């Protein structure tokens, strides 16, 4: 790291006579140091992006027709740990590249030591697997390959053609983790996992050129992918593809029938959430297609990450998880608020 003229190795200005009073207040400096360290770790772990994680497990549980349970909460906690492990490991693996392209990042700027980031990645991975084990063997059977995919991506696959596929697989496995933890089954959740993984694949493909810009093809492909996914997730399950309407809609009976929304409210909510998903990414992707410069590409990537939440909510709503879908949706403004303070890319 470069040293500023007359400054310290950490880039702060050298002391002046006017700093004498501050030097007599060690508690003030300590408090400021703690805030700076907390800020550095928030940047390393990209904390606002955490809001995109709980919806994976919740959508997975909804895809199996089950409501969230305590085991779903364990799956969410496991997902959060594994997600943050990937963030810490990502910056550790990219520390030399970031020293050139993003010298302000916590590791190249010297605010966090590389060994601390690597240790955090290992500890978070262990915690994530332990939490999955608490949720049951089926959950651990999904969390283990998820953790392996995260480490394989950061340490080797990231800069290969298989990188976006690995990221898409990781997000899909995260959704399956919620299904496995809640019910012990994953088969019913495979379609939702594939749709969410496809979205992640598109965003990751765009992100590969966010530092230096590049071709307009990735954001254009992501725009087309968003349109296709919106069509797929808003189509009512069981709707014939030849345009004919079903003669008799499926109606739930029994004591729990009153707790389920009718087909029309469910369809309206699913459509509204699907439209929100499309609107979140359409303009940024379009602008990045017209001008694939680093700023516009980074904006497109950020929009793609934020769009994960309405997509999760749409997948949940179409599985009749109305209340859960609304809960996932509530995470969006929270993530947007924190993203103003800490970047998600």
Q: Is the pLDDT of residue 149 over 90?
A: yes
Residues 6 or more apart from 191 whose CB is under 8 A from it?
Answer: 63
SS3 string, 151-167, reads HHHHHHHCCCCCHHHHH
Q: Quick one: average pLDDT of 148-175?
A: 95
Using DSSP, state whether 13 is helix, strand or coil.
strand
| pLDDT 10s digits, 124-136 | 999 999 999 999 9
Retrieve residue 141's tokens.
């059977």
| pLDDT 10s digits, 67-96 | 999 999 999 999 999 999 999 999 999 999
Residue-level pLDDT at 258:
43
| pLDDT 10s digits, 279-294 | 999 999 999 999 999 9
Residue-level pLDDT at 67:
93
The whole-chain average pLDDT of the chain stands at 84
Q: Is the pTM of this model over 0.85?
A: no
| pLDDT 10s digits, 173-218 | 999 999 999 999 999 999 999 999 999 999 999 998 877 778 899 9
Q: Are 315 and 292 in contact (CB under 8 A)?
A: no
d(CA 83, CA 46): 10
Write out the DSSP string of 149-213: HHHHIIIIITTSTTHHHHHHHHHHHHHHHHHHHHHS--GGGHHHHHHHHHHHHHHHHHHTTTTT-
- Phi, psi for residue 7 in degrees, rounded to 5: -115, 180
Retrieve residue 90's tokens.
């990502």
Residues 6 or more apart from 103 whose CB is under 8 A from it?
Answer: 1, 109
| pLDDT 10s digits, 22-61 | 333 444 445 568 888 999 999 999 988 899 999 999 999 9
d(CA 148, CA 339): 28
d(CA 345, CA 43): 9
Residue-level pLDDT at 7:
40
Residue-level pLDDT at 17:
38
| pLDDT 10s digits, 237-271 | 554 444 444 443 444 444 444 444 445 788 899 99
- Alpha-carbon distance values, 29 to 11, 15, 24, 33, 226 (Å): 16, 13, 9, 6, 48
Retrieve residue 43's tokens.
């940047």
């Amino acid at each position: 790291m470069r040293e500023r003229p007359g400054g310290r190795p950490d880039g702060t200005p050298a002391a002046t006579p006017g700093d004498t009073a501050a030097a007599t207040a060690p508690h003030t400096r300590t408090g400021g140091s703690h805030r700076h360290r907390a800020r550095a770790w928030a940047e390393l772990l990209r904390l606002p992006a955490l809001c995109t994680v709980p919806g994976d497990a919740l959508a997975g549980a909804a895809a199996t027709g089950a409501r969230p349970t305590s085991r779903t909460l364990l799956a969410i906690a496991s997902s959060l740990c594994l997600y943050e492990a990937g963030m810490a490991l990502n910056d550790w693996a990219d520390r030399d590249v970031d020293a050139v392209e993003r010298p302000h990042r916590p590791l190249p700027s010297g605010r966090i030591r590389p060994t601390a980031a690597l240790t955090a990645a290992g500890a978070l991975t262990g915690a994530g697997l332990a939490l999955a084990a608490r949720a049951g063997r089926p959950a651990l059977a999904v969390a283990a390959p998820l953790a392996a995919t995260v480490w394989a991506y950061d340490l080797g696959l990231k800069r290969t053609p298989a990188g976006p596929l690995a990221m898409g697989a990781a997000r899909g496995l995260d959704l399956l983790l919620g299904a496995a933890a809640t019910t012990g089954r994953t088969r019913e959740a495979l379609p939702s996992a594939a749709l969410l993984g496809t979205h992640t694949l598109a965003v990751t493909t765009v992100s590969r050129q966010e530092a230096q810009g590049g071709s307009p093809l990735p954001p254009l492909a992501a725009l087309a992918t968003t349109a296709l996914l919106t069509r797929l997730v808003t189509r009512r399950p069981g709707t014939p593809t030849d345009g004919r309407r079903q003669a008799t809609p499926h109606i739930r009976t029994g004591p729990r029938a009153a707790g389920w929304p009718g087909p029309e409210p469910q369809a309206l909510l699913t459509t509204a959430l699907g439209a929100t998903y499309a609107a979140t990414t359409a303009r940024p992707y379009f602008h990045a297609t017209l001008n694939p410069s680093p700023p516009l590409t980074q904006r497109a990537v950020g929009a793609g990450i934020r769009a994960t939440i309405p997509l999760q909510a749409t997948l949940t709503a179409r599985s009749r998880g109305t209340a859960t879908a609304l809960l996932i949706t509530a995470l969006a403004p929270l993530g947007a608020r924190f993203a103003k303070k800490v970047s998600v890319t």
